[in-house]
Structure 1
Amino acid sequence: MSFTAKTILDTFKDVEIAGAPKLKHTLYLNYAARQLGYSDYIHFKRCVQTAPSDRIGDFYTSLMRKICAIRMPKEGVEYVRFSDYNGISISYDSHFIGWDKRGNEVRVPNVGHGKHSVSDFRSVFEEPLYVIETEVELFAWQWRWRSFAVIPVALAKAKFRSLFHQHDQVMTNPPIAKVKGRVARKLRDSGLI
């Protein structure tokens, strides 16, 4: 799975950039191309279509990385925010839904990160927050780009199925002694008691 000139151009034509002025489509494409360092859309398109064949994979991946770093989430689509730690593990924003039979917290992903959430994140943190829309972008983010990403719920459920199927682990009568012991241990380890 890799990016092609067609996928990049199609993605680019559909990109929405935060704070962009209201422009007609052609002028907006020129504006977006300038945001990526090109003189205009024609220059951008020519560079994409004539990328050097010996570096085409890196060129396309790098360009798509820039696009995903500046674009905004689509209207009416819910996202989940993930973070990748040096390719070792992936974490996600979550909320508590109960305790399992061993007294561990059971959590599921928070859903709903949209335009405001992405804008707020980007205004506060220096690390990039990529807006991922396709499986190819997800693969590139997970294995090459890392950092933070928002991923549409449908794609996240398809690729990280087990994260969303945690409700069956929740106990109606959890082992409270284990829960209290675990909480006390965490508080002691953090120096709070």
Structure 2
Amino acid sequence: MFAFQDCITSIKYLAKISDYEGTHCQKIDKCCQEYGFNHYNDLRSGLPELPTDRFANISLTLMRKYCAAVKPNLDTAYYEFHATPGPKIAKIAFYSYWIGWDKKGREVREPLALDGKESVDGLRELLKRPVYVVENSQQLTAWLCNWYGVALVSEELAHDSFREKFDRQRLVDENVNMALVRAQRENYDDNMAT
């Protein structure tokens, strides 16, 4: 959930990139109206007075729209992750590169660092559905527990949150039996791994 100031910042950003006609202030007022407020000052004074559940709903909706619209920071790498609902926790897959074979002849893969700006534009155009840019732990939790789908996760957050995905070199067998590799009959057409 966003804090109050995060909500204000998100409204301003969403207004800036919106298709609404008018001045920047008029665009902000239009964005505020989407959430049941008459104008920006009404949002600023009314948001802190809302019951916790209503604030949480608005905050989470704003966070989702913000993450689906924002462009990645140009100074950091990002990793592409896919989350789908699971019985208890989200199932996670990631765009990866091959690092070797394990002792049973299966591929071992680790997440591949991507240029966030190029990746998000390409994915958003290709997939025709939200591609979230996730840069902090609140956004990560919301994505994993509520939104699912595709996210570009910033480098530091990805390494902190998905350590086991980046620590797979230990699984590589330098002397793997290639007969085991052929026996696995894995499909190598895809760079997605779990």
Could you state the TM-score of these two structures normalised by the residue count of structure 1? Answer: 0.77
Specify the code of the residue in structure 2 equivalent to 1:117.
S
1:73 lines up with 2:72 in the alignment:
yes
Specify the code of the residue in structure 1 equivalent to 2:91.
S
Specify the code of the residue in structure 2 equivalent to 1:160.
F
Separation (CA, whole Å) in 2 of partners of 1:171 and 1:32: 57
Separation (CA, whole Å) in 2 of partners of 1:113 and 1:17: 26
Separation (CA, whole Å) in 2 of partners of 1:180 and 1:34: 60
1:168 is matched with 170
Any conservation in 1 of the 2:16–2:27 contact (CA below 8 Å)? no
Shift of 1:51: 3.8
After superposing the two structures, state which structure 1 stretch, 51-60 or 92-101, moved more.
51-60
Of 141, 144, 148, which aligns to 1:142? 144
SS at match of 1:93: strand
Shift of 1:75: 1.4
Any conservation in 1 of the 2:10–2:62 contact (CA below 8 Å)? no
Runs of 4+ in 1 over 6 A off after TM superposition: 16-21
2:95 is matched with 93
Cα pair distance change 1:78/1:30, threshold 3 Å: farther
1:153 lines up with 2:155 in the alignment:
yes
What are the residue-to-residue correspondences of 1:44-59 with 2, within 5 Å?
45-46=44-45, 48-59=47-58
Shift of 1:89: 0.7
Separation (CA, whole Å) in 1 of partners of 2:7 and 2:50: 12
Separation (CA, whole Å) in 2 of partners of 1:97 and 1:16: 40
2:108 is matched with 106
Cα pair distance change 1:20/1:60, threshold 3 Å: closer
Separation (CA, whole Å) in 2 of partners of 1:64 and 1:3: 7
After superposing the two structures, state which structure 1 stretch, 170-179 or 156-165, moved more.
170-179
Unaligned runs of 5+ in 1: 188-193
Separation (CA, whole Å) in 1 of partners of 2:29 and 2:178: 58
1:62 is matched with 61
Unaligned runs of 5+ in 2: 189-194
For residues 11-53 of structure 1, give each alpha carbon's deviation from its aligned partner in whole angstroms, at most 9, with x where no partner exists: 566x5999789xxxx94x8657756847875565456445444
Shift of 1:58: 1.6
Q: Identity over aligned residues, as a percent?
A: 30
Any conservation in 2 of the 1:18–1:71 contact (CA below 8 Å)? no
Separation (CA, whole Å) in 2 of partners of 1:30 and 1:83: 36
Specify the code of the residue in structure 2 equivalent to 1:130.
Y
How many residues in Structure 1 have an aligned counterpart in Structure 2?
A: 179
1:191 is matched with none
Cα pair distance change 1:147/1:32, threshold 3 Å: farther
Any conservation in 2 of the 1:34–1:40 contact (CA below 8 Å)? yes
SS at match of 2:97: strand
